[in-house]
Structure 1
């Protein structure tokens, strides 16, 4: 191999730049080849060893050589949940996430109402596979579950790994308050850490969640910095209660969500490990005691309600990014997670995505697979540097809790979320299956089967109280929800009236332009679920008139070339509007030299690549449904 490489002369970055300048033929280098991430990080077209000479970062601390495949059980009946867990483990899962969340007087997931029920459930769970990892999402009543579960672990004399996913700071973030007074909340967390420590297991007492920031529309730098800030807040408060920094850090499980922005997501996970190691050093934790356990989940933020099978593609990309980035455990959400907890098929597909990555891509055989990628090293360094800077700003504001109470965290997230929402609405950030290539004939999306059981009393009232800290909650949302709301309005209208808005595509003239604009129009109005009537191209407008008259269309979209539009409209608009007096005439394109003349001749609107997709469709939905 070395002999082969010697036959090729090395090419310096300067040589590459000369070739690029030549190929650009005078075009602006930065405008043509450099793009910016959501966080404003400039990405160049290529990276070499010289590009990262001063930022070689090596192996992220605590980087695992393999990961655990996790499935979730959340059926309310505990016996059914155990049977599900057994099926998943027999099918290749290496761990189970159990959801059993009590919130006031409602429960989501497995209903366990007493200590005896928890012990019975725990015993059955541990019998399935003693080598499995378990992640138990129990909310504010974790201590009751913890004592019972760890008692079962001791009785069965097995070593266990995993974590309780209790996280009071995340509860404050998304609910605007703690589950109890601040003093009581952190006193319970202090006790929880001591319970886990005394059990001599590898089962961690609590989690630090960055997933909520992802669901709120924060960018990756914010996810890293805010998650670190929460961890720092826990270390600060709990050390004041008498626990050592090492004890606290050893009981933390980081809960992160992975999005579909592939390379930046890999860098996010790697950067986080470096910064958490740096923060542990700051708190005086010895090198041998430092650790970083990351439980990851694929994103719910960018999942579709409509055309849900597209979510399979997203989640597979996300799974690969999390694995290469260095998660310890991974839950791939089923493609129908928007409306359900998944059925046998969607769960199997989600699980098999990970099994394929392990057994056919061999990702579990390589430690830090992205090592040696100059591009990923560059991103890792940039995300780490900027996230640490933001973390220091939060610390200077008094820490996460103080900054959150002062609404500074919320304002930072809202600013970024508004930009994201605007980019999605205007299709600068297209969503496959929703704003890009929608399926306009899909009229019956999956109905929600997520159940929240109402109960008269919470089973563990001693853990729930009145918070003495109130703040503005961070709203979570999904990227596609604005467009889905439009489409659901159309579906509801169709159920009530047996009709929905109809768009007639009148394609004529220049072959290439009419074809391109027909496709554009179909996608444009298909986003709102309008009925698209496309009889094919017409050699003349006379051929279209009979079909048009019988179409009962609400919108006529003329698809041709800019040069032909004025003549077509002046000669035919009056005829078309007499045939369909209530219909509106729309031009696909924006022939800027003739806009005013076209409007005077009867054109009501123009749709084109620079149209504000959501605002335009919202106006049409409001107009046609009323």
Structure 2
């Protein structure tokens, strides 16, 4: 009964009051802004005009904390996996560079029980996947084999072998892999290259649809990898819109298809100068991932751009997620964004715009066809250029880089890795989608002056 003494205030009354307070300034020009996706964001949302039921449900909020391990030395990688599982990691992503590595041996020597193991293969081999599938039947944790020839095409410019052979291999794997989750749609390159959110949603749908068209009778789980940027509420809505749109797409093929979303922070807004700010960026991006409904979250280290993998950076990135889970209770509420008019509204608009662009891609031959023609690359480049211009003009701010930089900050002595776009001229089927950070040109100028 507490609120019965208060009269309800309509959205029209709010607008009238705001217009009065503006003292003649135009409401739309002053307070309504437009995102890079063409979405006009209002200063307030009200249930008499903005209540939206998107129908998306993230259900399980108990996200898994994932730690990435590149398998260079097999025994050291296994030892590291057992150690990080003791120290808070719940799942492990092993990056397997070649089929010479004994993948079955790696998963069999895990002494700690993970929630899941993700095996990211940097090659395509049906026999290796079949061996993992046989072994997975004996294990008590989930096994995901991350295979995505279309991502290989977008990132590298070529398929693993060629389009025909790669999809024949996928169909072979589909018939013999009942114990594992093996099909992956890795969309991180789109975001890291500068695609806007509508494009990311549309390309995720088109990417998935290529597989559903080319793999016969597929009716299993699909792992979707998503990169999360710094636009907090928009990123929550983006993940919700991706799941909503993918569920709608799956209904056209099989009711058994489900989606497992792995989210990780983007590289696009990370910097080498004032690098500790990267911890703040990755924290809010991980928060967006959890609230958006990611099933698993893999953080990146604050120094990942310029340092080789190290224990301190890994520990900090893992502890960021542990704090969100164990001290901030981010795993205790299902569907935490439900009923937030702003997020619901953004989810609906992003999903609708993404679906519209997806239909246009399909009408014009599908994702692979448009990659070969160069249309996708051109569209991403246009979106990236707009964002870059905002950064260059100071309208998009990266603290410590294009705003409040510390001139005493020196980095040339501390670069173990090359943090900029690498050149590798070679013959490719398509022009690769190039991942590039916003701060690269500015950082190169500063390094040159040190």
How high is the TM-score relative to the length of structure 2? 0.94
The C-alpha deviation readout for 1:291-324, integer Å capped at 9, x for no partner, is 2210111111111111211100000000000000
User: Mapping of 1:46-445 within 5 angstroms?
Assistant: 46-53=44-51, 55-60=52-57, 63-74=59-70, 76-102=72-98, 113-114=100-101, 117-125=102-110, 127-129=111-113, 131-154=114-137, 157-197=138-178, 201=179, 203-238=180-215, 243-246=216-219, 250-283=220-253, 285-286=254-255, 289-445=256-412
Distance 1:245 1:215 in 2: 29
Distance 1:488 1:194 in 2: 53
The SS at the match of 1:96 is strand
Distance 2:296 2:305 in 1: 22
- Please state how far the C-alpha of 1:144 moved relative to its aligned partner: 4.5
The C-alpha deviation readout for 1:225-263, integer Å capped at 9, x for no partner, is 00110100111111xxxx2142xxx24200111111100
- Please state how far the C-alpha of 1:449 moved relative to its aligned partner: 4.8
The answer for the alignment partner of 2:421 in structure 1 is none
Contact 2:153 2:159 in 1 (8 A): yes
Q: Relative to 1, partners in 2 of residues 1:440 and 1:245: Cα closer, same or farther, differing over 3 Å?
A: same
Contact 1:170 1:208 in 2 (8 A): yes
Q: Which runs of 4+ in 1 moved over 4 A?
A: none
The SS at the match of 1:128 is coil
The answer for the alignment partner of 2:416 in structure 1 is 448
Q: Relative to 1, partners in 2 of residues 1:315 and 1:142: Cα closer, same or farther, differing over 3 Å?
A: farther
Contact 2:222 2:258 in 1 (8 A): no
- Please state how far the C-alpha of 1:86 moved relative to its aligned partner: 1.4
- Please state how far the C-alpha of 1:75 moved relative to its aligned partner: 5.2
Distance 1:306 1:143 in 2: 44
- Please state how far the C-alpha of 1:118 moved relative to its aligned partner: 2.8
Q: Relative to 1, partners in 2 of residues 1:273 and 1:118: Cα closer, same or farther, differing over 3 Å?
A: closer
Alignment size in residue pairs: 443
Q: Relative to 1, partners in 2 of residues 1:448 and 1:194: Cα closer, same or farther, differing over 3 Å?
A: farther
Distance 2:73 2:381 in 1: 39
The SS at the match of 1:40 is coil
Please identify the structure whose Cα radius of gyration is greater.
1
- Please state how far the C-alpha of 1:410 moved relative to its aligned partner: 1.2
The answer for the alignment partner of 2:422 in structure 1 is none
Picking from 483, 497, 502, the partner of 2:442 is: 483
- Please state how far the C-alpha of 1:193 moved relative to its aligned partner: 2.4
Where structure 2 has 5 or more consecutive residues not aligned to the other structure, the ranges are 419-425
Distance 1:296 1:145 in 2: 26
The C-alpha deviation readout for 1:474-516, integer Å capped at 9, x for no partner, is 111111111111112112xxxxxxxxxxxxxxxxxxxxxxxxx
Picking from 18, 28, 31, the partner of 1:33 is: 31
Q: Which moved more, 1:435-444 or 1:386-395?
A: 435-444
- Please state how far the C-alpha of 1:113 moved relative to its aligned partner: 2.1
Contact 2:19 2:26 in 1 (8 A): no
- Please state how far the C-alpha of 1:471 moved relative to its aligned partner: 1.6
Contact 2:361 2:367 in 1 (8 A): yes
The answer for the alignment partner of 2:4 in structure 1 is 6
Distance 1:473 1:36 in 2: 30
- Please state how far the C-alpha of 1:151 moved relative to its aligned partner: 3.6
The C-alpha deviation readout for 1:340-385, integer Å capped at 9, x for no partner, is 3532222111111111111222111111101110000000000000
- Please state how far the C-alpha of 1:290 moved relative to its aligned partner: 3.6
How high is the TM-score relative to the length of structure 1? 0.68
Distance 2:125 2:262 in 1: 18
The C-alpha deviation readout for 1:52-83, integer Å capped at 9, x for no partner, is 24x322443x5423110011112521121112
Contact 2:56 2:244 in 1 (8 A): no
Structure (1 or 2) with the greater helix fraction: 1
Contact 1:95 1:133 in 2 (8 A): yes
Contact 2:124 2:166 in 1 (8 A): no
How large is the RMSD of aligned CA atoms in angstroms? 2.0
User: Mapping of 1:494-573 within 5 angstroms?
Assistant: none
The C-alpha deviation readout for 1:75-128, integer Å capped at 9, x for no partner, is 5211211121112111111101111234xxxxxxxxx625xx333223113x33
Contact 2:160 2:166 in 1 (8 A): yes
